[in-house]
Amino acid sequence: MKHKPMPIAVAISGLLYWGLLVYWVRDDLQAGFDTAAGEAAIFGLIFSVVYVAYVMACLMIDMPEGLKSMPVVGRYGKLLAWLAMLGLSAWYVRPSAWGGYEEGVGFFLVGICLLGFGAAAILTCFMWGGDDSSRLYALHRFVDVYPTITKPERHVRFNEKMWTTTFVLIIYFAMTNVMLYGLSGQALDLFSGFRSIMAGASGTIMHLGIGPIVTGSIIMQLFAGAKIIRLDLSNSEDKAMYQGVQKLLVLIMIPIESIPQTYGFLDPQEFLIDSYGLGWANFVIVAQLFAGSYLVFLLDELVSKWGIGSGISLFIAAGVAQSTFVGTLSPLPATSGVPYSLQNPPSGTLPMIFYMFREATNAEMISNNGFEQILLTHVNPVAALFSSIVVFLVVAYAESSKLELPLTHGKVRGHRGKYPIRLVYASNIPVILMAALLANINMFSLLFWSHPTLSQTPILGREGWASASQYIGTYEAGQTTASGGFAWYASMVNGVNDWLLPLLNQQGDVFGHSLTQIMVHVVFYTALMTVGSMVFAKFWIDTTNMGTKDVAKQIERTGMQIPGFRKNPKILEKILENYIPPVTYFSGAFVGLLAAGADLLGTVGNATGTGLLLAVGIILRTYEQIQKEQAMEMHPMIRQFFGAE
């Protein structure tokens, strides 16, 4: 298929980008060259045209043959020139004490350098003309030189994989304890309700966790599922391009998620502001968040290629396991700094039970609502422990359940095999994607509600023109959990305190919602998790070569066929249509409903039902992968003896 440039799309994209820049500095432009702000605004707009044109030239044009042969210029020429343009921008907005215009840090570094790179990539795709299947091939020059973890060219032994995975896990826990330099104590965690799923730790270089990686994956899967990007993921070249563009999107999503949080919620300390100005003080925070998130991205690649399993899954399971362990066994008092009492027992579930029954008589337990506290109202009640155990058992059973299609070899008589189709066919990925989507909805609705700049956005912002923010999401002062609007109805129902206790007491919640609104919230959240997981399960299967056509091709390549049917890929595909699509939708609905149900009951350590569901599934899958890796290095006879073949 021959693609042609799309002038209308180019014009609209350019108009949107430069219109945004003009709107950004509209007040400064009115002052003209008479002020430093006006001069910076006009220079910035001119520089943005040059910058975008240069990035587009890098993406569209190869280096001249004469320069390619030069040792440094040929390989790093484009990169060095791009870094020089970034350096020019940074020098122009250097701190006022050094003679620069520091108020323009956000406009130059974010509006021009960051958003300009994204605008250049979009314009390049719309201007591209070629015979490849998708316009994303316009970015092949960037994808080809993108820094990445190299794949092993040899067989990686099991011990090496285990040591790599362990090493990455140690680095992850170390990074969750490296606090952001210069961060004040007034920081708010926008992912507080989803921290167990997003991994990482609040206030550290791992503050964003896996958020940018998963968000980039969500966007690419939505585009691929909606056929906006026409890539055949069963083709190796198309799949490499898909993964390369996803990496570019992750690079863009890291600052997109970190910058709004920094400029409004992660406040720098006064000494940093006094030394470099507010703009550069915020930049120091953003730079640390970018470094931490990019390290997470590289660690995920390292585990995928040199370790066992997936880095993202490993980080989620590690965080949830830590929270569950502490929530179950912690002997520390529920309220730190206050001595033990019946109203302040140990925070861990098991120590709390032993303490309550040892220190209080039955009469004291009844008069002080001790039994209710043990069962429901404690920070880690027995109901949460029961819910955690149920989730573990159900997930363990579901992971071991599978349907096996009988296969025979078309040319070797007597050679038989089976193709397993798991009950949880789409794994736990749909729940990860759905939870990340809800976390992003909560984050951006909070930003449009209370961020000093984004709250001025027309329609979306609380103080913008024709504001609809009361329908999008409302928030109480100092809170990161929605108190009204769509964001509240889509927010996680975190344990029995959010719905069961208000029903038993026949009174509304702390936000003043009626019992009817609370029940609508419960039903809507459960339905949203269930349906959303089904949709993402379908997208995930289609983008990971697990669909009907791909599986039929895989079976055909092995020379196997289903007994009683001709060896024809169309027939095999038709038979698989009766199994794979229904199992895909069922697995998505099953994990989504199970995660929502666990959220309703709560879990120990505030790991959330979704987080616990993910962790259990990840641990079981990782254990299976470890078994397979061990079996691969066994002698064939020993492997057959243990049933590993």
Helical segments of 128-210, H only? 140-145, 158-175, 195-198
- Do 370 and 498 belong together in one domain? no
Query: Residue range 403-425: average pLDDT?
Result: 76
For residue 73, count other CB atoms closer than 10 A to its CB.
15
Q: Is residue 52 part of a domain?
A: yes
Please say which residue of 111, 145, 179 terminates a domain. 145
Same domain for 137 and 75: yes
Backbone φ and ψ for 420, nearest 5 degrees, come out as -80, 135
412 and 349 share one domain? no
User: Which of 211-220, 357-366, 391-400, 585-594 shows the highest mean pLDDT?
Assistant: 585-594
Q: Is residue 326 part of a domain?
A: no
Alpha carbon 605 to its chain's center: 21
Residues 357 and 423 in one domain: no
Residue linked to tokens 């990455």: 168
Give the ranges where 451-514 is alpha helix by DSSP (H). Answer: 469-472, 485-489, 500-505
Other residues' Cβ atoms within 10 Å of the Cβ of residue 438? 22
Tell me which of 38-52, 221-235, 497-511, 582-596 is least confident.
Answer: 221-235
Distance CA 293, CA 191 (A): 15
Domain membership flag for residue 329: no
The confidence score (pLDDT) of residue 642 equals: 46
| 11, 81: one domain | yes
Q: Cα(362)–Cα(385) distance, rounded to whole angstroms?
A: 23
The residue written with tokens 């939708």 in the block is 585
Range name among 1-15, 475-489, 539-553 with the lowest pLDDT average: 539-553
Per-residue model confidence (pLDDT) at position 637: 57
pLDDT score recorded for residue 84: 93
Give the H/E segment covering residue 525.
helix 515-543
pLDDT tier for residue 410 given thresholds of 50, 70 and 90: low
The winner for highest mean pLDDT among 42-46, 339-343, 465-469 is 42-46
Strands 402-409 and 560-561: antiparallel
Q: Is 632 inside a domain boundary? A: yes
DSSP string, 383-435: HHHHHHHHHHHHHHHHHH-EEEEEEEESSSTT-EEEEEEETTTTTTHHHHHHH
Sign of CA dihedral 296, 301, 307, 312: positive
pTM: 0.81
Name which of 139, 111, 116, 109 is nearest 127 in CA terms.
139
Domain-terminating residue out of 129, 145, 161? 145
Stretch among 62-76, 120-134, 254-268, 389-403 having the lowest mean pLDDT:
62-76
Which pLDDT value is given to residue 636? 60
pLDDT digit string, tens, across residues 97-136? 888 888 889 899 989 999 999 999 999 999 988 777 788 8
Instruction: Indicate whether 500 pLDDT > 50.
Output: yes
Q: What is the pLDDT of residues 132-179, one digit of tens each?
A: 778 888 888 887 777 778 888 888 888 899 999 999 999 998 998 899
- Residue range 587-604: average pLDDT? 87
Domain coverage including residue 529: 384-431+492-641
Decide which of 78, 113, 145 is a domain's last residue.
Answer: 145
Co-location of 357 and 414 in the same domain: no
CA distance 294 to 284: 15
Would you place residue 77 in the very low, low, confident or very high pLDDT band (cuts 50, 70, 90)?
confident
Q: Choose the most confident range, by mean pLDDT, from 53-67, 185-199, 558-572, 577-591.
A: 577-591
Tell whether 159 is covered by a domain: no
404 and 372 within one domain: no
The reported pLDDT for the residue numbered 634 is 63
Residue 261: CA count within 13 A, CB half-sphere: 29
Note whether 127 and 268 are within 8 A (CB). no
Give the single-character DSSP code of 634. S
Q: Name residue, tokens 């007491």.
A: 505
**Apex CA 187: angle with CA 262 and CA 279, to 5°?**
30
Supply the DSSP string of 252-293, one letter for each residue: HHHHHHHHHHHTTTSPBPHHHHHHH-HHHHHHHHHHHHHHHH
Please tell me the least confidently modeled range out of 86-90, 230-234, 316-320, 498-502.
Answer: 230-234
Count of other CB atoms within 10 angstroms of residue 240: 14
- The answer to whether residue 640 scores a pLDDT higher than 60 is no
Same domain? 423 vs 390: yes
Residue 603, phi-psi category: left (phi > 0), alpha (psi -120 to 50), beta (remainder): beta
How do residues 445-475 score in pLDDT, each as one tens digit? 988 998 777 888 888 889 888 889 899 999 9
Q: Is 439 a residue whose pLDDT tops 90? A: no
Range from 44-48, 105-109, 264-268, 438-442 carrying the lowest mean pLDDT: 264-268
- 555/622 same-domain check: yes
**Residue 633 and residue 158 in contact, taking contact as beta carbons nearer than 8 Å:** yes
Q: What share of the chain has pLDDT > 70, as a percent?
A: 96
Residues 588/533, Cβ–Cβ less than 8 Å: yes
Q: Give the per-residue pLDDT at 242.
A: 84
Is 33 inside any structural domain? yes
* CATH code (residue 554): 1.10.3370.10
More confidently predicted of 75 and 492: 492
- Structural domain count, the chain: 3
* Report for 2-6, 313-317, 402-406: range of highest mean pLDDT: 313-317
Establish if 330 belongs to a structural domain: no
Kindly state whether residues 370 and 394 are assigned to the same domain: no
> What tokens does 521 get?
């919230």
Q: What is the pLDDT averaged over residues 625-632?
A: 78
Q: How far apart are CA 604 and CA 386, in angstroms?
A: 9
Q: How would residue 29 be classed by pLDDT, with cut points 50, 70 and 90?
A: confident
Q: What is the DSSP letter of 79?
A: H
Residue 300 lies in a domain: no
Do 519 and 373 belong together in one domain?
no
Count of C-beta atoms within a 10 Å radius of residue 363:
9
Neighbours of 158 (CB within 10 A): 15
Please state, rounded to an integer, the average pLDDT across all residues of the chain: 84
User: How does DSSP classify residue 370?
Assistant: H
User: How many other CB atoms sit within 10 Å of the CB of residue 7?
Assistant: 10
pLDDT score, position 585: 93
Pair 54, 94 in one domain: yes
Query: 250-302: per-residue pLDDT in tens?
Result: 888 888 888 877 776 788 888 888 888 888 998 899 999 999 999 998 999 89
443 pLDDT above the threshold of 70 = yes
